[in-house]
Structure 1
Amino acid sequence: MDLVQNLASLRRLRGLTQEELADRSGVSVRTIRNLELGRVHNPRRASVGLLAQALGMEGGAGRAGTAVDDHGHWRGPQPPAGPLVGSRVTQERLMQAVWTNQLTTFYGPGGVGKTQMALTVAAQLCTSFRGGVAVVELGDIPAELDELAGGTAVVLERVWQRLDHPELPLSPPSSASQDRPDTNLLLVLDNAEHLPSSVITAARHLLGRFPEMHMIITARRRLTERLGVNHEIQPLSCEPMYGVDLPGAPAVQLVLQHVGPGDRAASELMRDLPGVAELCRRLGGMPRYLEFAAERMRTVPLRLLLTSGLAPELLCTSDHFLLPHQRSLAASVGWDLGLLTEDHRRLLGRLARLPAAQFSIDLLVMEYERLGTRQTTSALTVLSDLMETALVTADADGHTFQIVDHVSAVLTSQNTCPPGARETGLPLSPTI
C-alpha cells in the first residue's frame, strides 16, 4: 500500500489523531496535514520512514508503497491495479473491521464485487501484518465435499499450499517453529458460499491455533452469525450524489471507465448518459455485470443492448482468469440456483412465468402449493432464502415482491424451470 496516499486511513485505522501521530513519529502536524490533503507530492524519504515506523508498518519506508509487489508479503491473485469505483468511506469502514476483528465476512450477491473489495482492503492492510497477505481460491472445490468429513481438510490443504508449508492440515503444532510461516498475516478465503460448513470449521481451527492471524471470507450469503463479523457489500449506486452530474454516479462511472476513454463507444455513451443510467439500473448496479455490458458495447450500440431486453447471452466475458461461473450473467445466476433446493428452483421458475412482474405473499403460497411435491419447508422460508440470495426483492411497500430484473432475464431466456446443480457450473468432480 502507498503510505502517503493512504496516510489518513492508516492513521484513523490505528485510532490516532494527527497530533498523536506527530508525537510518535517526530514529523510535524503541518507536514502530516499537508500529506493527507495531497499538497505534498514528493515527501522526504526520511519523513515517510518515520511515519511508517510510527504506524507499525513492517519494513518501514522501503515497503510502504511496494508491499503488494513483494512476493514474500503477497501470495495469490493480485489486487486491482487501480482504485475501486465507489465510496472511500465504505473501504475505510471495512479496513477498520478487518483490522479489529479476527474474522470478517464480506457477503453479497454474485457480481457485486466482494472479491475486488476484499483484495483492495487486503492490499491497504498488507504492510500491517508481518506475514503479509495470502489469498486462497475456493470456488473450484467440489460443492459436495462440504457434506463429507474431508471438506475441511481440503480447505486447509489449500491454505498450506498457498503458504508453501508442507504441514498436514489438522496436525498438531510442530516444535520446529523456525520453518513455520509467520502467522501474523491476513488470509483471504475467496468464494466460500458453496462450502459453508467446511470453511467455518477451517476458520475456527486456524484462528484458534494462530491468534495473530486475521481472515477475510467472501461468500454470496452469510455463513455464520457466531464467529467474527459480517459486512454486506452493496451494489454501486446508479444515481449521482447531490450536486454531482450523472457521469459521477458510481455505476455510470464504472461503465465509462471500463469502456475506455479513447474508445469510439465512449463518446457515444457520453451523448446518452440517461441510457447508460438505465442500463445500470436494469443490471442492479452490479459491477461485474456492468463490466460485461461495457465490453459488449464496444461492438453493440447501447440502445440495441437495451431493446434486446439485456439478453443474457450478450452479457459475458472471454476472460479465463475468472472461474467458469463468473464469466457470464447466466452462469452466475445458475451458480446461485445450484446452491438452492429443487423446490426453490421450481418455485422461482413458476414465478418467472407469471404474467405480472410483481407477486404477493398469497400468490407465492398458491404457486408453492401447486408444485405438487411434499414440501419440507414453508413458503415463507423459501421466500426468505430467495431474498437472502438476492434473487427476489421486496417492493417499496413491503407487500409485493418481484424477481430481480437480470435474474428474470436469465430465467425467461431459458423458457423452462431453472436448472439443477449439474447445469449451473457448480464443480461436481474433484479438482483439487
Structure 2
Amino acid sequence: MTNVVDLARDVAVQRRLRGWTQEDLAERTGLSVRTIRNLELGVVQNPRRSSVDLLADALGVFNRSTTTDHRPHQVPQWRGTKLPALPVIEHHPSAAQLSHLVKTVAANQLTTFVGPGGVGKTSLAFGVALELGSSFRDGVAVVELSDLVPEHVKGESQAPSIARRVRRVIGADRPAAADNLPLCSRDTNLLLIMDNTEHVPVGSIQVARDLLNQCPDLRIVITARSRLTERLGSNQEIQPLSVEPQPGDGPFGAPAVEFVLRHLGGDSMAAASLLEELPSLVELCRRLDGIPRYLEFAAERLRTLPIQYLLSCGPSLDMLFTHDHALPPHQQSVAASIKWDVDLLSCSQRRLLECVSSLPTSTFAIEDVMAAYGESSIVGTEPLVLMSELMVTPLVRADTEEPHHYRLAPYVGHFVQSMTSNTLRRRRRPCEALVDDANRSATLAQPSLCGVVERPGGVHPRLPDQRDRDAAAGARVDR
C-alpha cells in the first residue's frame, strides 16, 4: 500500500467481494473489529506494517510494494464514459447483489438496471463491467444518453440519435446517409452500457433490439429509473442502502452509515465527530432513504455544518445539492432529480400527484387517493389507471410495513407543494405586474406541474425551456 486511502479502499472492497463481514475478517487476521472498521473508514492514518501484512495474507490480493488496483480483471478496451476515480462498488457492500447482477448480465442479452435516481445503477453497471469486461474480446463501451431531448418533448423517437452515439462509441461511425446500415459487425463481442434512458424509452429499446438482432455476441446493460419493457431481457431492481448494520459488522457496519463516513474521508474532523454521534447519523440516513446520491449531498453539508443542524432543518430540500459539475444537471440536486421525474409524467398524472401530495398522512391506500381525486377538479381520466401508472415511477414507493399502502419518495411532497404554491402565487399577481415585470420573465416560464401557466386571458402553453429551444434549433445533430 502506498497510502491509507488505497488501503481502506482495497480492504473494504475485497472483503465484500468475498462475502465476509468485518467480524469474519477479524477472525482471519487476529485484528480487532474496531481496527478493521477504522482502517476501512480511513480513520487510522498510519497503520502498523504488521496489520497491513496480516490483511494482505488473509485477503491474498495485495502486492505489498505497490498500490493495488481495485479492478478485479483487466478490461481489454474501455470506450465512452470513463470509470470514476473511486471504487464503483464501494457503496453496495453486498457481494451477493453484485454476484447476482454479474450472473444475470452474463445469461441475458439485455439487462435493465431499474431504480430511483441516485440509487447507484450506473455504479453497479460499471462494477459488472469490471467483472465481465475481460470476457469480451472487444471490451466495454458506455453510451451516455442523459443530455438527449426527451422523446415526449421532441415528439418522436430518439432512435436515430441513439444509434449515432452507439456507432461513434464502438468505432463504427458512418455518415448520416448510411444510417440504414448495421449498427455493428456481426462478430462484435462487446458489453455495451446504455446509461440514463428513462426519457428516451422508445428509441433505447428500438436500438437495443436492432443491436441484438445484428450482433448475437453482444450483451447490453441499460440503466433507467423505470422499466422500459417487460418483453425483452431481464429487469433488475436496484435497492437503496440499508440503514441497518449487517450481522457481525457492528453499528458502524450499516451500509448507509459507512457510505457517509467514507465519503467524508478519514482525515475529516466531521467524520471523527460523527463516530461519536451514531444515532444522529443513522437517523439522517433513514430520512434520506439510504439513497447514495442523497447521502453524498448530505456529506458535503456535513463538512461545514454539525449533523444536528441538518436534522433540525430536515435536512431541507434546498440543502441537498452538489457543486460537482461533472454530473448531469438533473443529478446535481435532489430538487433537480425530482423535477426530472415529474417532467416525464403526463398532465393527468401530475394532477393526481398533486392530490397525493396533499393527503394528510405520510402513507396512503388506494381508497385515500380515490377520495382526494373525487374532491379535485380532475376529469376525463380513470383514476385507478392513473394511480397504477404513478406507482411504477420513482416518485411513489410501496410501504414496507403495511400491504397495499404507499408513500411518496423523500422530498417529493415538498417539491410538489412548492411548485403548486409558486404557481398559485403567480396567478394572484395583478395583470399589470405580469406585463411590466419583464426582468422576471424566467419566473413566468416556470412550469406548473401540468406544464401550463395560467395568465390573464386564459390558459397558455408553458414557455419553452432550454431543451425545447435546443430541439427546435437543432443545436446538436444527435440530440
1:294 counterpart (291, 295, 299): 299
2:60 paired residue number: 39
Contact 1:129 1:185 in 2 (8 A): yes
- Would the alpha carbon gap of residues 291 and 163 (structure 1) be closer, same or farther in structure 2, given more than 3 Å must change? same
- Paired with 1:113 and 1:413, the residues of 2 have a C-alpha distance of 27
Alignment partner of 1:419 is 2:449: yes
Contact 1:189 1:215 in 2 (8 A): yes
Alignment partner of 1:94 is 2:98: no
- Would the alpha carbon gap of residues 353 and 128 (structure 1) be closer, same or farther in structure 2, given more than 3 Å must change? same
- Paired with 1:36 and 1:183, the residues of 2 have a C-alpha distance of 40
1:404 paired residue number: 409
1:57 paired residue number: none
Counterpart secondary structure, 1:223: coil
- Paired with 2:202 and 2:104, the residues of 1 have a C-alpha distance of 23
- Would the alpha carbon gap of residues 324 and 39 (structure 1) be closer, same or farther in structure 2, given more than 3 Å must change? closer
- Would the alpha carbon gap of residues 423 and 347 (structure 1) be closer, same or farther in structure 2, given more than 3 Å must change? farther
Counterpart secondary structure, 2:391: helix
Letter in 2 for 1:317: T
Contact 1:334 1:425 in 2 (8 A): no
2:128 paired residue number: 121
Counterpart secondary structure, 1:134: strand
1:387 counterpart (367, 388, 391): 391
Counterpart secondary structure, 1:405: coil
Give the unaligned 5+ runs of structure 1. Answer: 11-34, 44-62
- Would the alpha carbon gap of residues 413 and 39 (structure 1) be closer, same or farther in structure 2, given more than 3 Å must change? same
Counterpart secondary structure, 1:227: coil
- Would the alpha carbon gap of residues 64 and 367 (structure 1) be closer, same or farther in structure 2, given more than 3 Å must change? closer
Give the unaligned 5+ runs of structure 2. Answer: 1-9, 19-55, 65-70, 424-447, 452-461
Letter in 2 for 1:379: P
2:331 paired residue number: 326
2:262 paired residue number: 257
Letter in 2 for 1:350: C
Letter in 2 for 1:136: V
- Paired with 1:201 and 1:140, the residues of 2 have a C-alpha distance of 18
* TM-score, normalised with respect to structure 2: 0.72
Measure how far apart 1:133 and its partner are: 0.6
Q: Percent identity?
A: 41
Letter in 2 for 1:114: K
1:188 counterpart (188, 193, 197): 193
- Paired with 2:379 and 2:167, the residues of 1 have a C-alpha distance of 44
Contact 1:360 1:401 in 2 (8 A): yes
2:373 paired residue number: 368
- Paired with 2:417 and 2:389, the residues of 1 have a C-alpha distance of 21
2:245 paired residue number: 240
- Would the alpha carbon gap of residues 399 and 74 (structure 1) be closer, same or farther in structure 2, given more than 3 Å must change? closer
- Paired with 2:464 and 2:83, the residues of 1 have a C-alpha distance of 27
- Paired with 2:346 and 2:363, the residues of 1 have a C-alpha distance of 23
Measure how far apart 1:42 and its partner are: 4.9
Counterpart secondary structure, 2:59: coil
- Paired with 1:41 and 1:299, the residues of 2 have a C-alpha distance of 36
Measure how far apart 1:37 and its partner are: 6.4
Contact 1:155 1:198 in 2 (8 A): yes
- Would the alpha carbon gap of residues 188 and 339 (structure 1) be closer, same or farther in structure 2, given more than 3 Å must change? same
- Paired with 1:261 and 1:423, the residues of 2 have a C-alpha distance of 48
Measure how far apart 1:341 and its partner are: 1.3
Letter in 1 for 2:60: R
- Paired with 2:157 and 2:114, the residues of 1 have a C-alpha distance of 25
- Paired with 2:371 and 2:286, the residues of 1 have a C-alpha distance of 30
Contact 1:110 1:332 in 2 (8 A): yes
Measure how far apart 1:242 and its partner are: 2.5
- Paired with 2:252 and 2:173, the residues of 1 have a C-alpha distance of 51
Measure how far apart 1:182 and its partner are: 6.6
- Paired with 1:425 and 1:79, the residues of 2 have a C-alpha distance of 31
Measure how far apart 1:158 and its partner are: 0.8
Contact 2:241 2:256 in 1 (8 A): yes
Aligned length: 379
Contact 1:275 1:303 in 2 (8 A): yes
- Paired with 2:463 and 2:58, the residues of 1 have a C-alpha distance of 52
- Paired with 2:58 and 2:110, the residues of 1 have a C-alpha distance of 32
Alignment partner of 1:163 is 2:170: yes
Comparing 143-152 with 200-209, greater Cα deviation is found at: 143-152
1:25 paired residue number: none
RMSD between aligned residues: 3.2
Measure how far apart 1:79 and its partner are: 4.3
Contact 1:79 1:120 in 2 (8 A): no
Letter in 1 for 2:90: L
Comparing 417-426 with 185-194, greater Cα deviation is found at: 417-426
- Would the alpha carbon gap of residues 374 and 354 (structure 1) be closer, same or farther in structure 2, given more than 3 Å must change? closer
2:442 paired residue number: none
- Would the alpha carbon gap of residues 414 and 199 (structure 1) be closer, same or farther in structure 2, given more than 3 Å must change? same
